Amino acid sequence: MRWQITPAEFQDVIRKLRFRYFKWDAFVTGSLNVVPESIVLSQEEHEEIVGLAERLAAILRDIERRAKACPEVLRRIGIPGPVAELIAREPDSPLQLARYDFFPRPEGGWAVSEFNEDVPGGFNEVIAAAELLGQHHPGLRFVDRFAERFLAALPDSGRIALMYATGYSEDMQHMLVLESLLQARGQPTVLCSPRHLGMWFGKPTVHGQRIAAAVRFYPGEWFALLENHRTWKRAADRLSMMNPLTRLISQSKAVFAVWDEPDMVSCTDRDWLHTLAPHTEYFSPQQESELVARPADWVIKANFGRMGENVVMGSLVTSDEWFRTIREVQGCPQDFVIQRCFSVAPMEFSDGPRFPAIGAFLINGRFAGYYSRIASQPFLTHQATYVPTVVDPQ
């Protein structure tokens, strides 16, 4: 659906998105990655996605609790030893900021191919959409509860540390919009890297300042490289953090293979997961003949990768590229999985059919809003185009 908006109004929306809501990457490789169109979900479709996302979150928390107690499972899903050591020390925590991307199937229903439980991007757009675009969607509803749920999840007093990979401006923009929410309720914050964590008389600090909690927007597997690992060991059971490192279990693409292991999920939940998620296996050199013979059936994925990094779809590359990928992965098979390819139903936009991913944000297991994207191929990367999602209440 095209927005009811003039060119001047559209430019004003983009300007406010960039400077009021810190979306500095509105342009990618010189092209605007926002279109003046929206995905419209029926009330029934919206309720279905919310139900799927919240049930997935509950199942994943159970898997995390079981996997956390089994170092061998953590090793199989690719979690580095130093990070597994920190995970073992963390107490159970409800704190979660995640996004699950749902793909419409041609035969109906939805598919999910991974869980963004670690550093899920896109909440600048979620927070901005209703204010900037509500008037351009008469009769439709934005279902943003992001700010409300985010603030409710964190302590309302004390300093909040916003931890991110400080070398990346695209990560900083996410922290700044969260900082604006916290500061609007009068709460102090500090922008930092996990490298800045310290301890003072048993209390977590950043730059010498006591912190009440932290928001982590720093890839969990990178914690294995931190120079202050001993400090993190001391703080692991004392620092309330969104997202705790335990969330790295669900972030691993190998979690799709874990739930087929004995005693990880109930038979009912396992059967339900198989209706939603593609078949996934740990990578093994013995699979080479199947992968070479049927490349269009398979996707090779690194356990940890974001925005399409280290994902190769056999249907979208040449035979030489596919064979080279298999050879490269055989050098470190423990870091990869193979996943059955599934079909995605395109949606019609002004410039033709596009393949969508309907992103549902969850905070502490509850739906918080939509961040959706479209691409010309059924494979979304950092170059995918943002498209708002609204609900038709009729």
347 within 8 A of 39, measured Cβ to Cβ: yes
Q: Provide the pLDDT for residue 329.
A: 92
pLDDT single digits (tens) 372-387? 999 988 777 777 899 9
Q: Provide the pLDDT for residue 58.
A: 97
**DSSP state letters, 165-212:** -TT-HHHHHHHHHHHHHHHHTT--EEEE-GGGEEEETTEEEETTEE-S
pLDDT single digits (tens) 235-260? 999 999 999 999 999 999 999 999 99
Which of 108-112, 249-253, 256-260, 304-308 is predicted with the least confidence, judged by mean pLDDT? 304-308
Instruction: Name residue, tokens 């901005």.
Output: 128
Which of 13-22, 84-93, 374-383 is predicted with the least confidence, judged by mean pLDDT? 374-383
| Predicted confidence band of residue 1 (pLDDT cuts 50, 70, 90) | confident
Q: Provide the pLDDT for residue 142.
A: 96
Reading the block at residue 152, the tokens are 């409710």
Domains and CATH numbers, the chain: 7-254+346-392 (no CATH), 279-340 (3.30.1490.20)
Q: Provide the pLDDT for residue 33.
A: 85
Q: What's the mean per-residue pLDDT of the chain?
A: 93
188 within 8 A of 131, measured Cβ to Cβ: no
pLDDT single digits (tens) 129-187? 999 999 999 999 999 999 999 999 999 999 999 999 999 998 999 999 999 999 999 99
* Percent of the chain with pLDDT strictly greater than 70: 99
Q: What region does 242 belong to: left with phi over 0, alpha with psi -120 to 50, or beta?
A: beta
pLDDT single digits (tens) 204-217? 999 999 999 999 99
pLDDT single digits (tens) 336-352? 999 999 999 999 999 89
Segment (H or E) for 60: helix 43-68
**Per-residue pLDDT averaged across 313-326, rounded?**
91
Distance (Å, whole) CA 67 – CA 249: 8
Is pLDDT above 70 for 307?
A: no
Distance (Å, whole) CA 258 – CA 66: 10
- CA torsion sign for 117, 106, 352, 126 is negative
